[in-house]
Each structure stands twice: as structure tokens, then as C-alpha cells.
Amino acid sequence: MATIKQTPGGGYLGRMTIRRIWAASGAVAIVLFGCGLLFGDLLGSSNYPPLNASYARLRTYFLHNGSEVRALGFFHLLSAVALLCFIAYLHDRFRDAGQPRGPLPAITLAGGVVAAAFLLCSALVYRTLAEPAVVRDPALTHALVVLSYLAGGPAVAAPLALPVAGGAILALRRVLLPRWTGWLGTAAVAASLLSATTLLGPMNNTSVTYAILLLAAVLALLWTFIASILLAAAR
């Protein structure tokens, strides 16, 4: 019988390829998240309705854009799964970086899992809003729209501050990531924690607290994407 010879270093190369795929899952999560927003805001007949939209506007949007709203939920569900993969990868890398006895890996895992869970929850809310029978109830429709903003906004941003903070701390120590990503991560953490003030302010898209939420989303997602690409490209 013929024997199969293994190329020296083949096992190492295989492990590196798998590790890079795990590292790239963060960037995949952001791309999938963006695809959901593309369907929800740009490909529909109008943008996703604001928090203080009238019932007539809510009813028109969801009845006329059922397919787009279902796609929004679909892509955000996949984004949540990809984010979980990236958080598991970060937890593993933070332990390898010499932090096995400290709280950093555990905090990273806990914050990331909570953020992914709420992103998944928001995806299910979007899918529920795509049902015509649901949208015909004014109070229920308004409640679900508010929940979609809360579950997909501060409930994701605030917990996501924990893994971003872990990465920023290591980056500032010049471990795993460039030092400049540590400063970006620090800004993302501050904005993400401040985004919790959305729960205290008025529920509309023109408030200062909502602007802070948007800033937190941009910074946290940007950090996640950059960190994922840099880690996937590292040797």
C-alpha cells in the first residue's frame, strides 16, 4: 500500500490557517452587520423608521418592506454567530499572551457573549416585525421598534466595551496589536460605556444620547474590524 508522507511543518501551517480563519471572524461579523443595515436602510422603500416615528410610518415601512426586514434579521443573526467566534478567539489569544490568571480573558468572554446575545435578540425582533399581523397592532409595533433599537444598540455596545478594553490594554502594552489600536480601543470603550445613557434620555433619533450611541457603534465596530484583520494577517 502507498504511504502518505506529511510535509514537514504541514501541521503547523494547517493550525495557522485555522487560527487566521478564527481571527477573521471579527471582520466577517462586521461585514454581515453592514449587510443587514444595507437591506434595512438602503434597499427598502425608505430608511428604517426612527424611534419617534408615527404609527402610520411604522405600518407603511414594515408592510412594504417585509423581505428587507427579514434580510436585516438574517444577516444580524449571522453577525452574532461570527462575533461569538471572534470573542472565543480573543479569549484564547489573551490567555496565550500571558494573561491566564488575570480577569482579562474571562471579562472578554463574558462581555462578548452578552453583546452577541443581544445582537441575536435584535435579529429576532426584526424578524417578528416582518409579520403583517404584528404590525397591525400599534402598541406592539412601537414596543418592538423601541426594543430593536435598545437590543441592537446600547445592549450590544456597552458589553462589547469589555473585549475591546481587553484588546486595548494589551495593545497599549505592545502585545498582539499595534499601540495605536489601543488608543482607538480606549475611545471606543469610553463611547460604548457612555451609550448606556440612551436608557435615560428621550427615545428619539435626534437626542445627544443617540448621537453618543452612533459614535460608540462606529468606534467599536471599527476597532473590531481592524483588530480582526491585523490578527488574521499576523504571523
Establish if 107 belongs to a structural domain: yes
pLDDT at 122: 95
Establish if 2 belongs to a structural domain: no
Domain count, the chain: 1
pLDDT at 13: 55
Establish if 9 belongs to a structural domain: no
Establish if 7 belongs to a structural domain: no
Establish if 12 belongs to a structural domain: no
Question: What residues contact 47, with CB distance under 8 A and at least 6 apart?
Answer: 40, 41
Establish if 4 belongs to a structural domain: no
Q: Is the dihedral of CA 224, 225, 226, 231 positive or negative?
A: positive
**For residue 77, what are the domain limits?**
19-233
Quickly tell me which residue has 428619539 as its cell. Answer: 204
Residue pair 161/188 in contact (Cβ under 8 Å)? The answer is: yes
pLDDT at 94: 85
Establish if 123 belongs to a structural domain: yes
Would the pTM of this model clear 0.95, i.e. be above it?
no
pLDDT digit string (tens) for the chain, length 235 residues? 344 444 445 555 566 678 888 889 999 999 999 999 999 888 877 889 988 889 999 999 999 998 999 999 999 999 999 999 999 999 988 887 764 467 888 899 999 999 999 999 999 999 999 999 999 999 999 999 999 999 999 999 999 999 999 999 988 888 888 999 999 999 999 999 999 999 887 778 888 889 999 999 999 999 999 999 999 987 6
Establish if 224 belongs to a structural domain: yes
Separation in Å, CA 14 to CA 9, 11, 165? 9, 5, 30
